[in-house]
Protein backbone atom coordinates (compact mmCIF):
# COMPACT_ATOMS: atom_id res chain seq x y z
CA UNK A 1 0.00 0.00 0.00
CA UNK A 2 1.04 3.56 -0.48
CA UNK A 3 0.66 6.22 2.18
CA UNK A 4 0.14 9.75 0.89
CA UNK A 5 -0.32 13.18 2.41
CA UNK A 6 -4.09 13.73 2.57
CA UNK A 7 -4.09 17.29 3.85
CA UNK A 8 -1.80 19.70 5.59
CA UNK A 9 -2.18 22.76 7.75
CA UNK A 10 0.68 25.22 8.13
CA UNK A 11 -0.77 26.38 11.40
CA UNK A 12 -2.23 29.76 12.12
CA UNK A 13 -2.33 31.82 15.27
CA UNK A 14 -2.83 29.46 18.19
CA UNK A 15 -2.67 26.28 16.06
CA UNK A 16 0.16 23.87 15.47
CA UNK A 17 1.17 22.83 11.96
CA UNK A 18 0.02 19.32 11.08
CA UNK A 19 -0.06 16.76 8.28
CA UNK A 20 -2.70 14.04 7.87
CA UNK A 21 -1.56 10.89 6.10
CA UNK A 22 -3.91 8.41 4.45
CA UNK A 23 -3.84 5.29 2.38
CA UNK A 24 -3.91 6.28 -1.28
CA UNK A 25 -6.43 3.56 -2.08
CA UNK A 26 -8.97 4.25 0.64
CA UNK A 27 -8.50 7.93 1.37
CA UNK A 28 -8.75 7.92 5.17
CA UNK A 29 -6.48 6.90 8.02
CA UNK A 30 -8.65 4.21 9.61
CA UNK A 31 -7.79 0.51 9.46
CA UNK A 32 -8.12 -1.45 6.23
CA UNK A 33 -9.03 -5.07 5.73
CA UNK A 34 -7.82 -5.65 2.17
CA UNK A 35 -4.69 -7.51 1.17
CA UNK A 36 -1.50 -5.70 0.37
CA UNK A 37 -1.19 -5.33 -3.41
CA UNK A 38 1.20 -7.66 -5.22
CA UNK A 39 1.93 -4.99 -7.84
CA UNK A 40 1.46 -1.25 -7.75
CA UNK A 41 -0.33 -0.78 -11.08
CA UNK A 42 -3.09 1.80 -10.76
CA UNK A 43 -1.52 3.63 -7.82
CA UNK A 44 -0.86 7.25 -8.73
CA UNK A 45 2.42 7.44 -6.85
CA UNK A 46 3.87 4.31 -8.45
CA UNK A 47 2.53 5.30 -11.88
CA UNK A 48 4.47 8.55 -12.02
CA UNK A 49 6.53 8.96 -15.14
CA UNK A 50 10.29 9.19 -14.93
CA UNK A 51 12.18 12.01 -16.65
CA UNK A 52 13.00 9.67 -19.52
CA UNK A 53 9.36 8.56 -19.74
CA UNK A 54 8.17 12.16 -19.71
CA UNK A 55 10.54 13.11 -22.53
CA UNK A 56 9.33 10.12 -24.59
CA UNK A 57 5.73 11.15 -23.94
CA UNK A 58 6.37 14.77 -24.93
CA UNK A 59 8.14 13.78 -28.16
CA UNK A 60 5.35 11.40 -29.11
CA UNK A 61 2.60 13.87 -28.16
CA UNK A 62 4.21 16.51 -30.39
CA UNK A 63 3.88 14.04 -33.28
CA UNK A 64 0.18 13.46 -32.42
CA UNK A 65 0.67 9.80 -31.49
CA UNK A 66 -2.38 8.23 -29.83
CA UNK A 67 -2.18 7.88 -26.01
CA UNK A 68 -2.64 4.09 -26.28
CA UNK A 69 0.52 3.86 -28.39
CA UNK A 70 2.38 6.23 -26.06
CA UNK A 71 1.50 3.99 -23.11
CA UNK A 72 2.67 0.90 -25.02
CA UNK A 73 5.99 2.57 -25.88
CA UNK A 74 6.53 3.69 -22.28
CA UNK A 75 6.00 0.15 -21.02
CA UNK A 76 8.32 -1.26 -23.70
CA UNK A 77 11.13 1.12 -22.68
CA UNK A 78 10.77 0.58 -18.92
CA UNK A 79 9.89 -2.77 -17.38
CA UNK A 80 9.08 -1.14 -14.03
CA UNK A 81 6.53 1.27 -15.55
CA UNK A 82 3.09 0.69 -13.99
CA UNK A 83 1.41 3.84 -15.27
CA UNK A 84 -2.17 3.63 -16.50
CA UNK A 85 -3.89 5.33 -19.41
CA UNK A 86 -5.11 8.00 -16.97
CA UNK A 87 -1.47 8.88 -16.19
CA UNK A 88 -0.75 9.22 -19.91
CA UNK A 89 -3.86 11.36 -20.53
CA UNK A 90 -3.02 13.64 -17.60
CA UNK A 91 0.62 14.02 -18.69
CA UNK A 92 -0.46 14.85 -22.28
CA UNK A 93 -2.91 17.45 -20.98
CA UNK A 94 -0.22 18.96 -18.75
CA UNK A 95 2.14 19.15 -21.74
CA UNK A 96 -0.50 20.84 -23.93
CA UNK A 97 -1.30 23.44 -21.26
CA UNK A 98 2.39 24.18 -20.75
CA UNK A 99 2.89 24.48 -24.51
CA UNK A 100 0.04 27.00 -24.86
CA UNK A 101 1.61 29.28 -22.24
CA UNK A 102 -1.54 31.34 -21.69
CA UNK A 103 -2.20 32.02 -25.36
CA UNK A 104 -5.68 31.91 -26.87
CA UNK A 105 -6.57 29.29 -29.45
CA UNK A 106 -6.22 31.85 -32.23
CA UNK A 107 -2.79 32.94 -30.98
CA UNK A 108 -1.77 29.30 -30.74
CA UNK A 109 -2.94 28.66 -34.31
CA UNK A 110 -1.08 31.68 -35.69
CA UNK A 111 2.05 30.62 -33.81
CA UNK A 112 1.86 27.08 -35.22
CA UNK A 113 1.38 28.39 -38.76
CA UNK A 114 4.56 30.46 -38.46
CA UNK A 115 6.51 27.61 -36.79
CA UNK A 116 5.61 25.16 -39.55
CA UNK A 117 6.23 27.69 -42.34
CA UNK A 118 2.69 27.68 -43.70
CA UNK A 119 1.67 30.37 -46.15
CA UNK A 120 -0.72 32.52 -44.12
CA UNK A 121 -2.82 35.59 -44.80
CA UNK A 122 -5.32 37.22 -42.47
CA UNK A 123 -7.37 40.37 -42.18
CA UNK A 124 -8.66 41.87 -38.94
CA UNK A 125 -11.21 44.48 -37.96
CA UNK A 126 -9.22 47.61 -37.14
CA UNK A 127 -11.33 48.70 -34.16
CA UNK A 128 -11.41 45.39 -32.27
CA UNK A 129 -8.40 43.50 -33.69
CA UNK A 130 -10.69 40.48 -34.25
CA UNK A 131 -9.76 38.22 -37.14
CA UNK A 132 -12.17 38.72 -40.00
CA UNK A 133 -10.61 36.46 -42.65
CA UNK A 134 -7.91 33.82 -42.40
CA UNK A 135 -6.26 31.69 -45.08
CA UNK A 136 -3.44 29.21 -44.78
CA UNK A 137 -1.87 26.59 -47.00
CA UNK A 138 1.02 24.20 -46.75
CA UNK A 139 3.90 25.21 -49.05
CA UNK A 140 3.84 21.80 -50.74
CA UNK A 141 0.17 22.28 -51.64
CA UNK A 142 0.95 25.65 -53.22
CA UNK A 143 3.52 23.90 -55.41
CA UNK A 144 0.85 21.34 -56.37
CA UNK A 145 -1.57 24.14 -57.21
CA UNK A 146 1.00 25.70 -59.51
CA UNK A 147 1.49 22.34 -61.26
CA UNK A 148 -2.21 21.43 -61.46
CA UNK A 149 -4.06 24.74 -61.51
CA UNK A 150 -7.38 23.33 -62.73
CA UNK A 151 -8.04 21.12 -59.70
CA UNK A 152 -8.64 22.66 -56.29
CA UNK A 153 -9.94 20.77 -53.25
CA UNK A 154 -10.85 22.85 -50.22
CA UNK A 155 -11.74 21.50 -46.80
CA UNK A 156 -14.21 23.69 -44.96
CA UNK A 157 -15.66 21.39 -42.29
CA UNK A 158 -13.76 22.37 -39.13
CA UNK A 159 -16.34 22.85 -36.33
CA UNK A 160 -18.86 24.49 -38.65
CA UNK A 161 -21.73 22.88 -36.74
CA UNK A 162 -20.40 24.01 -33.37
CA UNK A 163 -20.12 27.69 -34.29
CA UNK A 164 -22.84 27.73 -36.97
CA UNK A 165 -20.51 29.69 -39.24
CA UNK A 166 -19.16 28.71 -42.62
CA UNK A 167 -15.43 28.26 -42.62
CA UNK A 168 -15.21 28.82 -46.34
CA UNK A 169 -17.10 31.61 -48.00
CA UNK A 170 -16.39 32.63 -51.57
CA UNK A 171 -18.01 35.78 -52.88
CA UNK A 172 -18.06 36.71 -56.51
CA UNK A 173 -18.97 40.18 -57.62
CA UNK A 174 -21.11 40.25 -60.71
CA UNK A 175 -20.59 42.71 -63.50
CA UNK A 176 -23.88 43.87 -65.04
CA UNK A 177 -22.48 46.26 -67.60
CA UNK A 178 -24.02 44.55 -70.66
Q: What is the pLDDT of residue 173?
A: 45
Within its chain, how far is the Cα of 137 from the centroid?
23
Spans of the chain below 70 pLDDT: 1-2, 24-47, 152-178
What is the pTM (predicted TM-score) of this model?
0.46
Q: What is the pLDDT of residue 69?
A: 92
Rounded to whole angstroms, the Cα distance separating 114 from 121 reads 11
Q: What is the pLDDT of residue 94?
A: 87
Q: What is the pLDDT of residue 175?
A: 47
| Cα atoms found within 13 Å of the Cα of residue 22, Cβ hemisphere only | 12
Q: What is the pLDDT of residue 2?
A: 67
* Sequence-distant (≥ 6) Cβ neighbours of residue 54 within 8 angstroms: 91
pLDDT tens digit sequence for 113-124: 998 899 998 888
Q: What is the pLDDT of residue 178?
A: 43
Which whole-number Å values give the CA distances from 5 to 41, 83, 132, in the listed order?
Answer: 19, 20, 51
Q: What is the pLDDT of residue 128?
A: 87
Rounded to whole angstroms, the Cα distance separating 144 from 63 reads 24
Are 120 and 110 spatial neighbours (Cβ–Cβ below 8 Å)? yes
Which whole-number Å values give the CA distances from 154 to 103, 109, 136, 169, in the listed order?
Answer: 28, 19, 11, 11
Amino acid sequence: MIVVMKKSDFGQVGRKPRIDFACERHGSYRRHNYDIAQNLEGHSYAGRLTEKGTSILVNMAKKHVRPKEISYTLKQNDDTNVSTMRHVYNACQKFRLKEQAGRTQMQQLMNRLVENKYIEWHRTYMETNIVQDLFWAHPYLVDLLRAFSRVIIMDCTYKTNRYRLPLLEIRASSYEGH
